[in-house]
Chains A and B, each alone.
Chain A
Amino acid sequence: MQHIRAHVLICAGTGCKSAGSKEVELAFQKEIKAAGLADEVMVVETGCHGFCEYGPLVIVYPEGTFYSRVTVEDVAEIVESHLLKGRLVERLLYHEPMTQEMIPNYSDINFYKKQHRLVLAHCGSINPEQIEEYIAVGGYEGLGKALTLMTPDEVVAEVKKSGLRGRGGGGFPTGMKWGFAKQSVNDKKYVICNADEGDPGAFMDRSVLEGDPHKILEGMAICGYAIGADEGYIYVRAEYPLAIKRLRVAIEQAEAMGLLGENIFNSGFNFQIHIKEGAGAFVCGEETALMASIEGKRGMPRPRPPFPAVSGLWGKPTNINNVETFANVPLILVNGADWYCQFGTEKSKGTKVFALTGKINNTGLAEVPMGITMREIIYDIGGGINNGKKFKAVQIGGPSGGCLPEELLDLPIDYDSLTAVGAMMGSGGLVVMDEDTCMVDVAKFFLNFTQSESCGKCTPCREGTKRMLEILTRITEGQGREGDIELLENMAKNIKETALCGLGQTAPNPVLSTLKYFRNEYEAHIKEKRCPAGVCEKMAIYTITDKCKGCGLCAKTCPVKAISGNLKQQHVIDQAICIKCGACMSVCPFKAITKG
């Protein structure tokens, strides 16, 4: 046996895997063996580093060198140059998009430097399929401490004191929720982890499950002890096969070590965890629909009360928390509530993981303390808007959230500040939009999503969102009428007040927030029949400019024969016939056709 001097960490999150990280890993193993380094260099598969834009990611320790977008062809060079001779492969290092500065070290990259990774601390630095690595970084000590040194009441009190609030969207105080479930007297109780992540663009829960699955098991077991439950379910969507696989491995390993199962830590506490694969209906993220789905029924919400803490899964008291919420619990138990309280704002403690997507340079996952501004997230961590475009809006909180304009970029983000401006924390999806985005179209996109995911049980959501979508559609098609804006506002208000569950109650939010901050765009669509961003196809007007050489290619391509003109003379489009398909524009060799 030799001393292992270097670890090559290869990201095996879903993002990097689809970019080819498995092949890169195999190539590393082959090249390392060929170079005779197999005894001294170890290849480790890790979870997601969150910097998915630059995947596949490879990090070489002890130096902590960060290589991005590594391909199979690059592997031989890294082995020969870095692992054998200690010379960095500069062309594969990360370059800051704003300054082009080359950054060799993981921890010096702006994307990571400004983050505060508590929940994601081990995502990307440990092998998620080895319980030993989780234990080596302090895993299961929170559970051990709770079971051997604390009473269930003390655990609930500690979580209450930490100020932790539900990370799934609503922001309900976790400690209070646990307290309600604990108070319910029953011979059987359940703990459920809601991993039915469905917001467009959100993938923080998936990354935690894939990168640090034991942390969730530990958080759930602590909750079980606190409320008096001996059984837990993880409700995770079937579209997350890697997360499911790693959870299964983790449960098996934890049971083998006696960290799940019977009489854990000799405390008399038993806890077992099952996985329930969801079929991917968005509404199943709503807690009562989720429980119906576990019971084998159709996933539809029911009115509350009774709340799950009183009558939940199979009528038994149940506590449901989101993945990220459970991931915070072991940290609070190990380090104490006072330590946890130092992060965040007065009413929102700790950190939040945001999924950065859209027109931004550094897409990926960013964990930041509550109270940070949107500007810091988008520009310092996210590296700004790509292609040098101008920022227009950021959609926060998924289909239930809202769009915030540039004026609100300096707003400190926490649960309450976001609600006050008409958005919500939601699960933490951030979709960044640039100047080329039409806000009416965005509202239509999100409403279309909630409308198709509406379960149909209550009328306001089933019919209301459908009618609102029809109005939005006609506005984007140039058929908007006087009074449509007021009608949308009126319907949104009614749906919010009368829908049965959170899905319906929040579905109008994207429409309301775009109306609040981008009303002029709606007005331009309705009154001037014009889409200021040039996105809405049906309102586009294609014109042929004097750059036209009269080649006739456009006329030949036009499927409805709307273009006429003599050879070698400027052609014209008959707007009455044109169906705005854009085919002429894409074939014109002289870029003579404009859209406006």
Chain B
Amino acid sequence: MKTLEDLKALREKLKSDIKVRQNQGTKIIIGMGTCGIAAGAREVMSAALDELAVRKLNDVQVQQTGCIGMCEKEVLLDVIRPNEPRITYGNVKPADVKRIIADHVVNGRIIEDLVVGKIEQES
């Protein structure tokens, strides 16, 4: 390392490795209640993690949540981009995950045919 720029470049590279510890960036939230797990939430999550790894989207957070009562629409997967409404997708199959990440997480285009709910920005 010989210049300040070298250091800053290295920092940019390393920063994403600890992004998980800062509460920022896009969030993907997967319903992992008993209903969600029974409908295949675990497989959906694995598919999401694989796709994020392939695309090197280290700063996207993946969280789980419990049952929100819409059990027949499980697996439920929410996407929250910073300062945008929380979009809930229903009946998500592992095969849908690629599209959700490509269109919505990366490019901000909501996939209307999978949407089951929309919540305006929570604080």
Contacts and interface: CB of A to CB of B under 8 A. Distances in A.
Interface in A147-201: 148-149
B75 interface: no
A140 B8 CA distance: 10
Interface string A23-65: 0000000000000000110000000000000000000011110
A135 B7 contact: yes
Given A62-B21, A141-B11, 7 more contacts: A2-B50, A3-B57, A62-B62, A135-B11, A141-B7, A144-B4, A258-B1
Contacts of A132: 14, 17
A72 B17 CA distance: 27
Contact of A3 (B1, B10, B60): B60
23 contacts: A2-B50, A2-B53, A3-B49, A3-B58, A5-B49, A5-B62, A6-B20, A62-B20, A62-B27, A62-B61, A64-B23, A84-B32, A85-B66, A86-B32, A86-B63, A86-B65, A133-B17, A136-B17, A137-B18, A141-B4, A148-B4, A265-B4, A265-B7
A6 B49 CA distance: 11
Nearest to A134: B14
Nearest to A133: B18
Interface in A111-139: 125-126, 132-133, 135-138
Interface of B: 1-4, 7-8, 10-11, 14-15, 17-18, 20-21, 23, 27, 30, 32-33, 37, 46, 48-53, 57-58, 60-66
Interface residues of A, number: 37
Nearest to B60: A3
A425 to B, nearest CB: 32
Nearest to B51: A3
B45 to A, nearest CB: 8
Nearest to A87: B66
A438 B62 CA distance: 55
A64 B63 CA distance: 11
For the complex, would chain A's binding face be called helix, strand, loop or mixed by DSSP majority?
A: loop
Contact of A9 (B7, B21, B49, B51): B21
Contact of A7 (B21, B32, B37): B21
A132 B15 CA distance: 9
Contacts of A335: none
Contacts of B2: 258, 265-266
Contacts of A137: 18
Interface of A: 1-7, 9, 39-40, 61-64, 84-87, 125-126, 132-133, 135-138, 140-141, 144-145, 148-149, 257-259, 265-266
B69 to A, nearest CB: 16
Nearest to A143: B7
A1 B14 contact: no
A3 B52 contact: yes
B11 A136 contact: yes
A40 B48 CA distance: 11
A5 B61 contact: yes
A132 B49 CA distance: 23
A135 B3 contact: no
B38 to A, nearest CB: 12
A7 B22 CA distance: 11
A61 B58 contact: no
A126 B11 CA distance: 14
A141 B15 CA distance: 14
Contacts of A62: 20-21, 23, 27, 61-63
Contacts of A2: 46, 49-50, 53
A40 B49 contact: yes
A141 B8 contact: yes
Contacts of B8: 141
Contacts of A149: 4
